[in-house]
Amino acid sequence: MKIIDKNNISELKKQKNIIILGNFDGIHLGHQELIKRGIECSEDTEYKTVLYTFKTHTNQNIKLLTNNEEKILLLKKFNLDYVYFEEFDEVKNLSPEEFIQKIIIDRLHSDKVICGFDFTFSKNKSGNTDLLKKLGQEKNVKVVVIDSVKDESGEVISSTRVRKYIEDGNLSEATKLLGHYPIIAGEVVHGKKMARQMGFPTANLIFENKVYPPFGVYGVYVKIEGDNNIYNGVMNLGKNPTLKPGELSVEVHILNFDKFIYGEKIIIYVLEKISDEIKFNGIDQLVEKIGNDVKYWKKKVKDEYGNTDKTRKF
């Protein structure tokens, strides 16, 4: 899977491409169905698959489930040929005709696109799937529109619903709609070097302006780039009221692990909440509390998550 943008696109001219269109925030089960259908359309043909998405989401007023790096990590498990990141500013004022001619046909060298039932495009979202089909006929571009994917109660799966579940702390429902655990990924940065002294070193990630579950301590899995193991861990997400008041952080203590991983990329899969963040008056109480969180999670992992590889949702 190659990551490309408009400056890095010459390869697309070597073949015809199927374009899979959307924002793809979260890569939930609806997105996954669309991707699979796009890949199916390319099978036994000379076509390559290009997932077309945006460097910045088309709606700038919402917090996102996934930054671009997280999106790429989640897309890796599909057999896509390319992921193309578009500058939204460049296409947002195009007319529907211009979008098809300049972007789909000329830029992406395509005559086949696939999108979801609610896809909109062009200036002021003036283009919808009907118009896309109509323009496609005129310009010899085949347009496939897939129906909405629903959950077991018949409700349409959407990024909006997943955002709400995560912000409300309903991680099991979010995981159902996503088809994978909610993830937090990034590069390990330096913290205040206090956690190690307490006996629980934590790998810190930058706290971003994105959708997070409510502040607190969570049981998680951790994957480190270049390391095939899946580690258990406990993550503290929040304000660190005892030691770093006012500082927002994401940090994870990885169980049975003792290596420096500064600068390395990790993915945290968030499973369930263990406890709230409490403000203590002394470090001893904090150390005891963290110890209890770790003990609780170790037991839970052993009793409930141990040997359940088949049910893990990565």
What does the binding site for ligand ADP look like in residue numbers (CB under 6 A)? 188, 190-193, 195-196, 201-204, 253-254, 257-262
240 contact, one of ligand FMN, ligand ADP, none, CB 5-8 Å limit per kind: ligand FMN
**Considering all CA atoms of the chain, what is the largest pairwise distance in Å, rounded to the nearest integer?**
72
Least distance between ligand ADP and beta carbon 272 (Å): 19
| Sheet with 48-54, side-by-side order of all strands | 2-4, 82-86, 48-54, 17-21, 110-116, 142-146
**Contact residues for ligand FMN, defined by CB under 6 A:** 191-195, 200, 202, 204, 217, 234, 236, 240-244, 251, 253, 277-279, 286, 289-290, 293
Residue closer to ligand ADP by CB (options 91, 224) is 224
Distance in Å from the first CA to the final CA of the chain: 18
Which residues, at least 6 apart from 284, have a Cβ–Cβ distance to it below 8 Å? none
Q: Which residue is nearest to ligand FMN (CB)?
A: 191
Least distance between ligand ADP and beta carbon 220 (Å): 11
Least distance between ligand FMN and beta carbon 188 (Å): 10
254 contact, one of ligand FMN, ligand ADP, none, CB 5-8 Å limit per kind: ligand ADP
Tell me which residue of 269, 100, 97, 122 sits closest to 182, measured CA to CA. Answer: 269
Q: Are 49 and 39 in contact (CB under 8 A)?
A: yes
Which residues, at least 6 apart from 120, have a Cβ–Cβ distance to it below 8 Å? 126, 127, 128
203 contact, one of ligand ADP, ligand FMN, none, CB 5-8 Å limit per kind: ligand ADP
Least distance between ligand ADP and beta carbon 169 (Å): 24
Q: Which residue is nearest to ligand ADP (CB)?
A: 191
Residue closer to ligand ADP by CB (options 59, 292) is 292
Least distance between ligand ADP and beta carbon 262 (Å): 5
Q: Are 117 and 39 in contact (CB under 8 A)?
A: no
CA atoms of 220 and 270, how far apart (whole Å): 5
Q: Are 108 and 100 in contact (CB under 8 A)?
A: no
Least distance between ligand ADP and beta carbon 256 (Å): 8
The CA R_g of the chain, rounded to the nearest whole Å, is: 22
Least distance between ligand FMN and beta carbon 65 (Å): 23
Tell me which residue of 282, 281, 206 sits closest to 237, measured CA to CA. Answer: 206
116 contact, one of ligand ADP, ligand FMN, none, CB 5-8 Å limit per kind: none
Could you give the count of Cα atoms lying within 13 Å of 100 in the half-sphere of its Cβ?
23
Chain centre distance of CA 212:
12
Element (H, E) at 97: helix 96-98
Residue closer to ligand FMN by CB (options 100, 195) is 195
261 contact, one of ligand FMN, ligand ADP, none, CB 5-8 Å limit per kind: ligand ADP
Residue closer to ligand FMN by CB (options 41, 224) is 224
